[in-house]
């Protein structure tokens, strides 16, 4: 009971601290994720056209997600990027690639070959095939990939404080250092809320972007 009371007190007495860390957490998630989308989606689309690209692209993304997250962070230091926001953002970016690459590829390759044949036979250019046929039909699959990348990134981002990137993780670390559970909770609760909000938001987006004709 006292724990809740203390936590509540921490929230009311240090709203600025919590907001600051939450905000840091937000861009620790948003920047790498945005970058991952901007890189992974076009690159994978290219890989659906130039098949031999897919192996290296997917292989790289896969490797990045297979490396234990802590090791990936440590690696950033080892390769000389030092500590702080930049190496953390880079590590998070690399970590977020795989689900997006995978789902973009699966989404586009999964478009009914009959639909693609009909479209080509009616005279779409290869751009039109992508924009008018493949993208609309693959979008909800791509969004699902972004959704799992987002949730993973939010989880991973709390670790980023280990290399001095700030965020809610640093509150958690601080609390653990001071053996203060209320400070730990002040870091964990917003992190959990953030994860659920993001998940909820993305599942809505996914639903909205599913073409009406594909909804069951």
**Cα–Cα distance between 2 and 185 in angstroms, integer?**
13
Q: Which is nearer to other proteins, 179 or 216 (CB)?
A: 216
Rounded to an integer, what distance in angstroms lies between the CA atom of residue 212 and that of residue 216? 9
Residues 6+ apart with CB under 8 A from 18: 10, 11, 171, 186, 190
Q: Which is nearer to other proteins, 143 or 185 (CB)?
A: 143
Alpha-carbon separation of residue 170 from 25, 91, 133, 187, 211 (angstroms): 10, 17, 45, 8, 42
Least distance between other proteins and beta carbon 126 (Å): 9
Q: In the complex, what is the shortest distance from the CB of residue 215 to other proteins, in angstroms, rounded to a whole number?
A: 9
Residue 79 CB, nearest approach to other proteins (Å) = 44
Q: Is the dihedral of CA 162, 167, 170, 175 positive or negative?
A: negative
CB of 48 to other proteins, least distance (A): 18
Please report, as ranges, the residues that interact with other proteins according to CB under 8 A: 112-125, 128, 133, 136-137, 211-214
Please identify, using beta-carbon distances, which residue of 80 and 213 lies nearer to other proteins.
Answer: 213
- Which is closer to other proteins, CB of 82 or CB of 211? 211
């Amino acid at each position: 009971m006292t724990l809740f009371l203390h936590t509540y007190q921490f929230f009311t007495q240090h709203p600025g601290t919590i907001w600051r860390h939450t905000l840091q957490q937000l861009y620790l998630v948003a920047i790498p994720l945005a970058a991952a989308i901007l890189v992974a989606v076009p690159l994978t689309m290219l890989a659906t056209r130039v098949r031999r690209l897919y192996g290296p692209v997917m292989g790289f993304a896969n490797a990045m997600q297979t490396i234990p997250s802590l090791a990936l962070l440590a690696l950033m230091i080892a390769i000389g990027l030092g500590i702080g926001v930049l190496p953390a953002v880079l590590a998070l970016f690399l970590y977020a690639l795989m689900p997006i690459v995978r789902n973009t590829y699966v989404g586009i390759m999964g478009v009914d070959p009959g639909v693609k044949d009909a479209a080509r036979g009616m005279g779409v250019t290869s751009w039109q095939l992508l924009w008018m046929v493949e993208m609309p039909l693959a979008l909800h699959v791509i969004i699902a990939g972004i959704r799992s990348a987002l949730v993973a990134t939010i989880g991973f981002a709390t670790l980023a404080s280990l290399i001095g990137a700030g965020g809610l993780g640093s509150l958690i670390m601080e609390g653990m250092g001071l053996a203060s559970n209320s400070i730990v909770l002040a870091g964990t609760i917003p992190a959990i809320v953030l994860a659920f909000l993001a998940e909820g938001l993305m599942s809505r987006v996914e639903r909205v972007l599913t073409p009406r004709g594909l909804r069951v």
